[in-house]
Amino acid sequence: MSNETIGRARIIPALLLKGQGLVKGVRFKRHTYVGDPINAVKIFNDKEVDELIFLDISASREGRKVPLSLVEKIADECFMPFAVGGGIRNVNDVRELISAGAEKVVINTAAIETPELITEASSIFGSQSIIVSIDVKTTWLGKKRVYSLSGRKKTSLDPVDWARKAEKLGAGELFVNSIDRDGSMSGYDLELLKALSGAVNIPVIACGGAGKIEDLSDVIHKGGVAAAAAGSFFVFHGRRRAVLINFPTKSEIEDICRGKLKPPGKEEEAP
């Protein structure tokens, strides 16, 4: 990653939806309720976050769409651009989410099952609006494989090969989540992310494993990604994982991008 790209690196809260509430789990399992999404949006507004990602973790598995009424409420409250994913099956689903206020959509399972959807959606709405999500897990043989249906269905896809194909099909960004690191707060899978970011020319958003502010810097400088996303790190605090919405200050983000870190700022409790 060039110094110019690092200067534009983004730090993004990735928030998981289940029904009308926010949840968080570990390795895509044991999800617990952590609060109301609109309250979270209000806090992130106050913290002047540049971008948000909302993912409905059960929509594809349950054969339903993200509740459009919730997306509209988020759009009414949100000061920043946001992306929404979950249950997207066709171009009309993309159209509905963008009409409801989402700037971008995140496609995972349908991108794998019907790759032509990536091309069709990007040709209509622009590649900048289409994020392909890649969930990756290490098999017992030590190989990285892509999973669909919120980590429940293993595919034969190699993540680097799939990333290259998604780019060719028209994806504007890739959202790469390590199932093994998800919710662990043990650091990103830098080896995976470095391989992926080096294989494509579109922005890679890293997710899965952030546990301290240094992890955000490491994934940008060592993983070579364009953006660092996190869930647990921005909603939990302390060993007991108390629900506490927090986010780096502007000066801390500048230090993250430069690789020069200061102690994290004071955190704020969710209402």
Q: How far is CA 134 from CA 103, 130, 165, 171, 255, in A?
A: 19, 13, 12, 12, 28
> Which member of 56, 93, 135, 218 is catalytic?
135
CA–CA dist 110, 31 (Å, integer): 23
Closest to 172 in 3D by CA, of 94, 257, 105, 88: 105
In sequence order, the 6+-apart residues with CB closer than 8 A to the CB of 25 are 16, 31, 32, 182, 183
CB 188 within 8 A of CB 219: yes
Measured distance CA(110)–CA(268) in Å, rounded? 37
- 105 Cβ contact list (under 8 Å, min separation 6): 83, 84, 85, 88, 93, 94, 97, 98, 121, 129, 130, 131
Give the total residue count for the chain: 271
Annotated catalytic residue 158: no
C-alpha angle 87/88/94, rounded to 5°?
A: 145
CA 216/CA 175 separation, integer angstroms: 15
- Going by the DSSP 8-state scheme, the letter that residue 203 receives in this structure is -
| CA separation for the pair 271, 252 (Å, rounded) | 24
Q: Which residues are catalytic?
A: 135
